[in-house]
Amino acid sequence: MESVWSHDSLVLNGGQGQFDFVVAEGSQSFLVVVSGLSGAEYLISSLRGPDGVLVRAEANEAEAASGFGAAAGPFFSPNRSVGDHGGATLLVPNDPLLRLTPGRWELGVTSSSVEQHELRVDRLELHAAGLPLRSVIPLTIHLSGAEGMTGALGRGHERLDRALQKVEQVYEPAGLAFEPITFVDLAPEFRVLDAVDLRSQKALQMLGRGVGRAGINLFIIERFENDEALLGDVGGVSAAIPGDPRGGEPLSGVVVATSFSEDAAARDLLGLTMAHEIGHFLGLFHSEEANGFEDNLSDTLASEGSNLMHHLSRPGFDVLSAEQGMVLRLNPAMQLP
């Protein structure tokens, strides 16, 4: 099992561009990271492989009524694609019922910036004989000192240890472990972020602290201060779905806030929030959105209501389905134990 990066560029004209690449024999999956202008929005709006279309730009009438605008088609595509700021990412496949066929593929990118500009297109492709039953991924935890959590203490901090135990318990049945887990200190200035969208200069500086640390970079802060009046109504955020596993990049990281929930064990949601955002980072969507839309997986039934990736965060919502486990292990950032 081996994952290999390839690096290319793409010029967008009028907010549109196409990119061709070849998927090798024996590839199980690939992850694309498109990096552009920090002030612009991007969306991988089309993807065609040798067997047909996996991401389509066009939406039917019902999908167009979702209010997602130009993002509706990609959102409701067989291989769901969502946009982001400064770039976009896509895991293929993000539904294990889809198969990756070797051959020539064509990817389309749409941007909110119509000025001609060049994008960086980085692609990580997983070559393996089959899907491994067990995988590992490095986890680096950046500690801003919120609630006394420091790199020196690491798992010696009771609440952090409890949260990590929860994360490990949630992912173990899916065949996923976090190895190694490394604790590093983050400057106290990052204890508070002004916004949850991770677009501010401060947020990008913080994500940049993950440079050279491949895998998952988890930043534990005290709080998000969304606007002047409100704060704390958001528990965590992933920089992208899926995130960029290189570390240090604008779409590389997961951020959670300690102030979101109480630290009493029975009421603490820190571990669940960490697990949920890591799920997004590795390519999972909400099993059910607040507006009722469901993911594409056949075994994440909204009626069951105990899924980790449900849009609600409640004690006991900590189950991952078999297909979610397969999506996680298809992420090319995974390694063999």
Partner 1 sequence: MSGLFILSLALLVDGHHALPAQPGEVACWQAEGALRTHLLSGRRPQRRRALILLERCSFTLDWARLRADNDPEMALVAWRYSLQNAVVDDPRWAQALQQLPKAQGRSVLRLHNKRRRANLAPGLPIEDVR
Which parts of this chain interact with partner 1 (CB under 8 A)?
A: 66, 192, 196, 222-223, 225-226, 228-237, 259-262, 267, 269, 273, 276, 290-293, 311-314
Report in angstroms how near the CB of residue 167 gets to partner 1 at its nearest: 15
The CA angle 16-18-21, to the nearest 5 degrees, is 155
Pairing of strands 176-185, 135-143: parallel
What minimum distance in Å lies between the beta carbon of 272 and partner 1?
Answer: 9
Nearer to partner 1, 248 or 305 (CB): 305
Q: Whole-number minimum distance, CB 178 to partner 1, in Å?
A: 21
Tokens describing residue 307: 């899924």
CA–CA gap between residue 29 and residue 31 (Å, rounded): 7
Which of these, 124, 120, 98, 93, lies nearest to 19 by C-alpha position? 120
Contact 328, 125 (CB under 8 A): no
Instruction: Write down the least CB distance from residue 223 to partner 1, Å.
Output: 7
- How far apart are CB 180 and partner 1 at their closest, in Å? 27
Q: Quick one: 185 or 225, whose CB is closer to partner 1?
A: 225
Residue 218 to residues 256, 273, 277, 283, Cα–Cα distance (Å): 8, 11, 9, 15
Min CB(255)–partner 1 separation in Å:
12
Q: Least distance (Å) from partner 1 to the CB of residue 267?
A: 5
Q: Are 317 and 310 in contact (CB under 8 A)?
A: yes
Record the tokens describing residue 173, joined without a space: 């049945």
Q: Considering beta carbons, is residue 22 or 230 the nearer one to partner 1?
A: 230
- H-helix or E-strand spanning residue 323: helix 322-330
Minimum CB separation from partner 1 for residue 237, in Å? 8
- Measured from the CB atom, the residue of 230 and 301 that comes closer to partner 1 is 230
Q: How far apart are CA 79 and CA 250, in angstroms?
A: 23
Q: Choose between 32 and 256: whose C-beta lies nearer to partner 1.
A: 256
Taking the complex as a whole, the smallest distance from the CB of residue 284 to partner 1 amounts, in Å, to: 14
Buried b (16+ CB within 10 A) or exposed e, 255-271: bbbbbbbeeeeeebbbb
Nearer to partner 1, 112 or 226 (CB): 226
Three-class DSSP labels, 167-204: HHHHHHHHCEEEEEEEEEECCHHHCEECCCCCCCHHHH
- For residue 112, the one-letter residue type is S
In this complex, which beta carbon is closest to partner 1, that of residue 141 or of residue 256?
A: 256
Quote the strand ranges of 58-175, DSSP E: 84-85, 87-92, 103-111, 117-127, 135-143
Cα–Cα distance for residue pair 333/320, rounded to 1 Å = 19
Smaller CB separation from partner 1, 193 or 334: 193
Nearest to 32 by CA among 40, 50, 14, 20: 20
In the bound state with partner 1, the residue whose beta carbon lies nearer, of 182 and 261, is 261
